[in-house]
Amino acid sequence: MSEDHPQYPEPEGGGAQPVGDTGIDLGRALAVAVALAEWAAEEIRRPRTPADGPVREKAGPADIVTDTDVAIETHVRAALRRAFPAYGVDGEEQGVDAGAPTAPHWVVDPVDGTTNYAHGLGWCSFSLGLAAPDGTPLLGVVADPWRRETFTATRGGGAHLNGAPVRAADHTALTGHVFLTEWAAHAHWPGQDALLAELAARHCTVRVMGSTALSLAQVAAGRASAAAIGEFHPVDGLPALLIATEAGAVAVPERPAYDEPLLLSAPAVAAEATRLWRSVVPPR
């Protein structure tokens, strides 16, 4: 684990970008988040060695953690506390560190796709987001270490990939295109098998890649017509949800609750995807 701390450059223009009347400086927050994402991506790219420690189980054999997960989250938490001492932090590995009651809070997943990472498969991500006290997404960053891609978005500010604006695909049908989904750890979630069967009947190709944040972000980049997960968790879903919707994707539901299924789709296929989704996925 590198001991170098990320530098936090001021955003171009130097001014605050407040959200409503909250006074939250999203420009500075984004600069900090991107610096941390770039640092974390470098750490994830390093080849694993015996010195990185063993893979350990959390809730079971399909729910694992490595020393890299813990070390990255520890470092990111400390950096965020230094930069924004009043803000809370909710992390995948270390839980909730409450901030001031009226302050926003960060959500961080240091390695989203730990199973892939631990097995040497190059599809995982670092995910960091900022939410208002009521849970409204304000900022999202998802970094793909292997492709050296960083997705970013601020609420009302659009979505970007490595600094360039991105938009969801203009596909008009699911047929012939890609639909991304994820297991619930090792298991199928309610309605998933029926969804896969209906997509296959439409000649829509399904991929299960192994990182919720990175799969959802592909809708923002126009690489997938749609993506779905059986359980929305803010630590790995909120940043990518904001990125995708700022890129024009349609979310069902628009504001998912914890553990609720989530569908993201490109605008022109949203009606078809939503009808299919509601026909096979039971409401929670």
pLDDT digits (tens, 9 = 90+) for 59-97: 888 889 999 999 999 999 999 999 999 999 999 999 899
Q: Which of 123, 120, 157 is nearest to 142 (CA)?
A: 123
Residue 236 confidence (pLDDT) above 80: yes
Sequence-ordered list of residues with C-beta below 8 angstroms from that of 83, at least 6 positions apart, any chain: 8, 32
Percent of residues, the chain, with pLDDT higher than 90: 82
Q: Region 215-233: what's the mean pLDDT?
A: 98
Contact 264, 214 (CB under 8 A): no
pLDDT band at 222 (very low <50, low <70, confident <90, very high): very high
Question: Tokens in use for 122?
Answer: 């190059």
- Give the pLDDT confidence score for residue 262 in this predicted structure: 98
Q: Is the pLDDT of residue 218 over 80?
A: yes
- Provide mean pLDDT across the span 42-63: 86
What pLDDT does 139 receive? Answer: 98
Order of strands across the sheet with 178-181?
Answer: 205-208, 178-181, 226-229, 262-265, 250-252
Which residue did the predictor score with more confidence, 244 or 52? 244
Residue 28: the pLDDT is 96
pLDDT at 220: 98
Instruction: Supply the mean pLDDT for the chain.
Output: 91
Q: Is the pLDDT of residue 49 over 90?
A: no
- Strand 159-161's sheet: what is its strand order? 95-97, 88-91, 105-112, 125-131, 137-144, 149-154, 159-161, 164-165
Integer Cα distance of 122 and 220 in angstroms: 20
Over residues 234-251, the mean pLDDT reads 98
**Whether residue 174 has pLDDT greater than 50:** yes
- Quick one: which H or E segment has residue 126? strand 125-131
Kindly tell me if the per-residue pLDDT of 241 is higher than 90. yes
**CATH no., domain 26-165:** 3.30.540.10
> Is a pLDDT exceeding 60 seen at residue 140?
yes
Listed in order, the ranges of the chain carrying CATH 3.30.540.10 are: 26-165
- Residues of each domain in the chain carrying CATH 3.40.190.80: 178-280
CATH T-level topology, domain 178-280: D-Maltodextrin-Binding Protein; domain 2 (3.40.190)
Half-sphere exposure of 62 (CA within 13 A, CB side): 7
Query: What pLDDT, on a 0 to 100 scale, did the predictor assign at position 1?
Result: 53
Nearest alpha carbon to residue 96 among 73, 69, 65, 66:
73
| Rounded Cα gap, residues 153 and 147, in angstroms | 18
Tokens encoding 113: 């796709």
